[in-house]
């Protein structure tokens, strides 16, 4: 019975003790390392799969752009073109070959200046013939007058018959009428000569040269090879902007309303202006009403036919001075708060990239960016809680 109570565990072989290479307690460490690696691998797989199956967020891009401080008072924006209120296609009154053209595009002209001249040999010859006819008629008048005076003396002395006096008087009156007709003929030929001269109707600048020396010029350009206008000139002191405003927004526009004009050619330069006229008719095809805006001041960079953007300001608001600094802005919804910081998101490799920014004042529906972006940078236009650093994004179809 004593042998049954013997502890048989003492008879087991400790193989770890027999292997000198196995350190004491290595088995628990190996198990820990194994399970740790397994858990890390599973977590990594879940992270990758989560990113893979996470839905793509559709976004739209906005551009960081320079904005005038006046935008805060904007009630409406519209587009249009610079036009000259005084503009003329200068044509000839007569028909002939152009033999002289004294201006080029960009030249300044004065009122009454001869811009061009047509071939005039025939009309000058006609004028000289009319002048000679007038001189002959004036010589006849002298003789007819002297003869009438003699006849008057003789008829009073009853030395000639009354009929002879009447003949002398009739001849005198005929010569007087001939002189009057000759003067009209001279004037007519002088007008014909003037019609070969193309004169500037007002002070202006040549915008376009429509004909060249050697071409036939006609008042109505009836022939296929003839030209009507020789040059087009404009008074550069009469520039204004014609803008198309949608019918639905025309109630926001009023006469004398202050505006700010920005040219497409110089987006950083702003010009103050005001509404001078709302044309009392609508364009049926475009459903717009034309509004005319006059510059309060502008420089020589403003040219006819330039594209322009017009910002109509609220009542009582005035346009900022032209030398006021423009502000770099993005849409207000493009800026988000993350971990106490103001950030925007850009797109790189189809993923949202967080960019820290510093912001300034609100300008209309935009906000000033004082640091972190530069003009022209593209950012996600509207940020919500779905968008974080690394979020997969795609551009929304327009």
Q: Which tens digit of pLDDT belongs to each residue from 178-234? A: 999 999 999 999 999 988 899 999 999 999 998 889 888 887 654 445 677 899 999
Write the CATH number for 106. 2.40.50.100
**DSSP bridge pairs for 240:** 83, 294
Boundary (domain end) residue, out of 199, 233, 267: 233
Statement to judge: residues 337 and 388 lie in one domain: yes
Strand order of the β-sheet with 114-118 is 197-199, 114-118, 96-101, 216-217
Statement to judge: residues 179 and 65 lie in one domain: no
Boundary (domain end) residue, out of 291, 313, 335: 313
CA distances from 124 to 100, 137, 196, 202 (A): 16, 20, 10, 27
Statement to judge: residues 294 and 330 lie in one domain: no
Confirm whether 27 is domain-assigned: no
Phi, then psi, of 188 in degrees rounded to 5: -65, -45
Statement to judge: residues 336 and 298 lie in one domain: no
Confirm whether 363 is domain-assigned: yes
For residue range 251-302, what is the model confidence (pLDDT) as tens digits? 999 999 999 999 999 887 889 999 999 999 999 999 999 999 999 999 989 9
Write the CATH number for 290. 2.40.30.170
pLDDT value of residue 2: 44
Statement to judge: residues 265 and 366 lie in one domain: no
Statement to judge: residues 207 and 132 lie in one domain: yes
Confirm whether 133 is domain-assigned: yes
Phi, then psi, of 111 in degrees rounded to 5: -60, 130
Statement to judge: residues 384 and 270 lie in one domain: no
Q: Domain count of the chain?
A: 3
Write the CATH number for 353. 2.40.420.20
Cα(241)–Cα(274) distance, rounded to whole angstroms? 10
Confirm whether 37 is domain-assigned: no
> Which pLDDT band, with edges at 50, 70 and 90, does 1 fall under?
very low
pLDDT value of residue 3: 47
Statement to judge: residues 153 and 224 lie in one domain: yes
Statement to judge: residues 62 and 163 lie in one domain: no
Statement to judge: residues 302 and 365 lie in one domain: no
**Number of helical H runs and strand E runs in the chain:** 4, 25
Confirm whether 285 is domain-assigned: yes
Boundary (domain end) residue, out of 200, 233, 266: 233
């006059």: which residue's tokens?
Answer: 294
Confirm whether 194 is domain-assigned: yes
Whether 228 contacts 281, CB under 8 Å: no
Confirm whether 171 is domain-assigned: yes
For residue range 65-123, what is the model confidence (pLDDT) as tens digits? 877 777 777 889 999 999 999 999 898 888 889 999 999 999 999 999 999 999 988 89
For residue range 377-394, what is the model confidence (pLDDT) as tens digits? 999 999 988 888 888 988
CA distances from 134 to 141, 176, 181, 184, 192 (A): 10, 11, 8, 10, 17
Statement to judge: residues 176 and 282 lie in one domain: no
Confirm whether 10 is domain-assigned: no
Q: Which domain holds residue 389?
A: 57-69+326-395
Statement to judge: residues 177 and 218 lie in one domain: yes
Q: Which residue has the higher pLDDT, 218 or 303?
A: 303
């Amino acid at each position: 019975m004593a042998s049954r109570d013997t502890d048989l565990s003492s008879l087991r072989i400790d193989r770890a003790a027999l292997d000198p290479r196995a350190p004491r307690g290595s088995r628990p460490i190996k198990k820990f390392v194994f399970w740790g690696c397994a858990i890390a691998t599973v977590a990594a797989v879940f992270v990758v799969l989560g990113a893979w199956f996470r839905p793509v967020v559709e976004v739209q891009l906005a551009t960081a752009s320079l904005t005038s401080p006046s935008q805060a008072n904007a009630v409406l924006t519209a587009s249009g073109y610079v036009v000259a209120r005084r503009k003329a296609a200068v044509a000839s009154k007569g028909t002939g070959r152009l033999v002289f053209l004294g201006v080029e595009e960009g030249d300044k002209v004065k009122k009454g200046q001869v811009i061009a001249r047509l071939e005039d040999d025939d009309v000058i010859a006609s004028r000289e013939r009319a002048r000679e006819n007038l001189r002959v008629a004036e010589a006849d008048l002298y003789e007819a007058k002297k003869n009438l005076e003699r006849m008057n003396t003789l008829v009073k002395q009853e030395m000639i018959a009354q009929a002879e006096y009447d003949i002398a008087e009739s001849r005198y009156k005929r010569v007087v009428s001939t002189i009057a007709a000759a003067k009209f003929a001279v004037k007519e030929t002088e007008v014909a000569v003037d019609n070969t001269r193309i004169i500037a109707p007002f002070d202006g600048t040549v915008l376009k040269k429509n004909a060249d020396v050697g071409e036939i010029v006609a008042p109505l350009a009836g022939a296929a090879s003839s030209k009507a206008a020789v040059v087009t000139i404009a008074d550069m002191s009469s520039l204004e902007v014609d803008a198309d405003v949608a019918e639905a927004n025309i109630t926001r526009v009023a006469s004398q309303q202050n505006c700010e004009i920005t040219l497409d050619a110089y987006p950083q330069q702003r010009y103050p202006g005001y509404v001078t006229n709302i044309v009392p008719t609508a364009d049926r095809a475009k459903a717009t009403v034309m509004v005319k805006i006059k510059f309060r001041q502008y420089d020589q960079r403003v040219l006819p036919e330039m594209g322009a953007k017009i910002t109509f300001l609220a009542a009582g608001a005035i346009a900022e001075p032209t030398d006021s600094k423009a502000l770099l802005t993005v849409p207000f919804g493009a800026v988000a708060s993350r971990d106490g910081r103001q950030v925007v998101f850009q797109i790189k490799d189809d993923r949202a990239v967080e960019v820290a920014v510093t912001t300034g004042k609100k300008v209309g529906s935009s906000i000033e960016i004082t640091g972190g972006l530069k003009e022209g940078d593209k950012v996600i236009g509207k940020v919500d809680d779905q968008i974080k650093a690394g979020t997969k994004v795609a551009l929304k179809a327009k």
